[in-house]
Structure 1
């Protein structure tokens, strides 16, 4: 046969083989392509600037992403003997939360639980809870498969204020897109969460008495060593309903003659004397204790229970008197030691506030009254006997209440059902309503929230 004819035959065979391969690949990949196309449209519809909100076309895409049936409550059976507590439970962190490095919880207190970020383990029999972060690099990309087990807890986890979690970069995080009753539980700094997780440890009295991070535990020595007036550390200048307002308030106080050393990204003209990596070091706390006051101004105003490390770590634990702004006074009183802070809303004007702070700075006796809580008993304060956050979640997975003061080992060894309660048996009707719609107007600060 002529070489050209051989070549044409070979080329024809190659072409037909390629056509058959493409057809086969399309048929095999068609279901996956549908999901990818749907999620791509999902991202396009959630970009900032979308005017239509949840459009009718997007409703169709959402039905492809999420199961259409309602999720029934998780069912647990209360038993006389908690045999189930002798096995380890896995908690899957669905989102790659870069700052969260924990891999386990204290088994003697919380129960046998491990943590993983490996999504492929979601259907494993030992994966008892899936925790989905409200603010992550993969906004609104939760588990979408219909294989969800009914004995698995889906937990909505939030560590930032509602205003801060409205957007992640270019994308709007519209919690209203979660189907009703998708979540079984909530975990956040709010005290009405299923699993309460304060942003900082509440047992500040115990931390002081144990000289955590070498903080000064002797109150008389602490107060005698103070030689500077006030300190403010702020690097978030624009995100949050009070991010800009707190900078303006601080400037008003400075203009009225109050002495404040201000550091952070919002004050680039002044270099902080220690590297950022020292923020958790004993050197950092030795630097802090020289000051009498700390500006514990949060980035969000009147967000329920939003009280951060500025109050608990940089002020109370470090030995400074916090000047607070952010949460309501009632929220602070609920978690703080008695007479441990000055709230700006107790004053009619900024001038009245400055006048009172200057009075405290000159009057040693009046100033010292704000530190008497350091001499109290740690068991008298809010957090005594309670478990929080992932520890409370782990105990719940083993059928133990967060309010039970006993260790997990004591409960298990006692084999008594008196204090063993069923794990969470509920669904959250709408995390969008719970997290955003029912929040204060000041917390969201003019940002339009669907459902208001």
Structure 2
């Protein structure tokens, strides 16, 4: 009798063991399938959204330049998962984040949907890639936005004009980096304004060294196909920003200089801001010199020394430039950075944040 009881007890134990193993396997499969392992599940104003998926509604396209949003755009184009990007306003009641581009708001071409019932936990994001000098009056937007999307490194979501990515393997540099270079300094400018700091520096520099100028201002515009080949024939490129503002570093550095293969002479934010994002010893900052004349003399000397000049390109052996030009990719990156965001947040003085130095 005891033997029968023991056998029955063993059968129960084996059954429970098998049952536990099966349950564990099923739970693991569900866990992986639904993406519960991902770190981008988030808390919205105290409520946890366990599936890690975000719906981002773009209220209006920047500069009326729209893109197709068919299918799973963020995953299909940029391999960013669990991110639904839409521009159909019927999604307003279910969107997690609604993005508003500043230019259309300050020009009055678009309005905030303050007349609609804003869903609990929904975040409104203010987006601008312009410098504070061109963002207009932001005082009416006090206590409205929960997020900032900007080139600024201290924005809630940072979308730079470009960044560095490591190469899969080291790439050797050409033996002579100066081959085919025929102009000492060149500059492409269309928005030429007398009061700009860059205009003053250009005038002083052109009195010391020859500067080849292209763009609408001089009546010599360059097509997109001619831009980089033209700059590639220059030793130095004037990557002068039209505004001097924190972190404001545009395609003038990333594309016009680095991609073309000219050493950038930069004028914009502080040297520290450039060092935070650019390769070491890859640019020349105007503020490094006591005068513009000294800068010009340095450029002349450097162009004659092939070895020293080539050192400004050493970074290209290990790094490559990634440009951000597609608004869809910029918006999908909200999902990539979502897990690091603060959710119980409102900008009581958006203008003060924008003008912060």
Residue 313 of structure 2 corresponds to residue 371 of structure 1: yes
Q: RMSD value over aligned CA atoms?
A: 3.1
Within-5 A mapping of 1:65-84: 74-78=44-48, 82-84=50-52
- Aligned partner of 1:392 in structure 2 is 333
CA distance in 1, matches of 2:130, 2:168: 24
Deviates more, 1:146-155 or 1:132-141: 132-141
Of 261, 265, 278, the residue aligned with 1:323 is 265
Residue 235 of structure 2 corresponds to residue 252 of structure 1: no
Of 137, 150, 157, the residue aligned with 2:127 is 157
CA distance in 2, matches of 1:291, 1:141: 45
What is the aligned length? 304
Give the structure-1-normalised TM-score: 0.60
Residue 202 of structure 2 corresponds to residue 202 of structure 1: no
Q: Secondary structure at the match of 2:236?
A: strand
Of 70, 80, 93, the residue aligned with 2:59 is 93
CA distance in 2, matches of 1:90, 1:178: 20
Structure with the larger strand share: 2
Of 234, 237, 242, the residue aligned with 2:192 is 237
Of 72, 75, 78, the residue aligned with 1:106 is 75
- Aligned partner of 1:356 in structure 2 is 298
Give the drift of 1:140: 7.0
CA distance in 1, matches of 2:110, 2:287: 37
Aligned 8 A contact 2:196 2:243 in 1? no
Q: Secondary structure at the match of 2:64?
A: coil
CA distance in 1, matches of 2:131, 2:189: 17
Within-5 A mapping of 1:47-446: 74-78=44-48, 82-85=50-53, 89-99=55-65, 101=67, 103=69, 104-106=73-75, 109-123=79-93, 125=94, 127-136=95-104, 137-138=107-108, 141-166=111-136, 174-180=137-143, 182-199=144-161, 201-203=162-164, 206=167, 218-220=173-175, 222-238=177-193, 244-256=196-208, 258-268=209-219, 271-272=220-221, 274-275=222-223, 279=224, 281=225, 283-301=226-244, 303-376=245-318, 389-395=330-336, 400-401=339-340, 424-436=343-355, 438-439=356-357
Give the drift of 1:76: 4.6
Give the drift of 1:106: 3.3
Going from structure 1 to structure 2, the CA distance change for 1:247 and 1:396 (only over 3 Å counts) comes to closer
Going from structure 1 to structure 2, the CA distance change for 1:161 and 1:154 (only over 3 Å counts) comes to same
Q: Secondary structure at the match of 1:292?
A: strand
Give the drift of 1:317: 1.9
Give the drift of 1:141: 2.0
Aligned 8 A contact 1:396 1:424 in 2? no
Going from structure 1 to structure 2, the CA distance change for 1:96 and 1:134 (only over 3 Å counts) comes to closer
Unaligned runs of 5+ in 2: 1-42
Give the drift of 1:345: 0.4
Unaligned runs of 5+ in 1: 1-72, 167-173, 211-216, 402-421, 440-452
Q: Secondary structure at the match of 2:239?
A: strand
Aligned 8 A contact 1:206 1:378 in 2? yes
Going from structure 1 to structure 2, the CA distance change for 1:192 and 1:378 (only over 3 Å counts) comes to same
Give the structure-2-normalised TM-score: 0.75
Going from structure 1 to structure 2, the CA distance change for 1:334 and 1:267 (only over 3 Å counts) comes to same
Going from structure 1 to structure 2, the CA distance change for 1:192 and 1:77 (only over 3 Å counts) comes to same
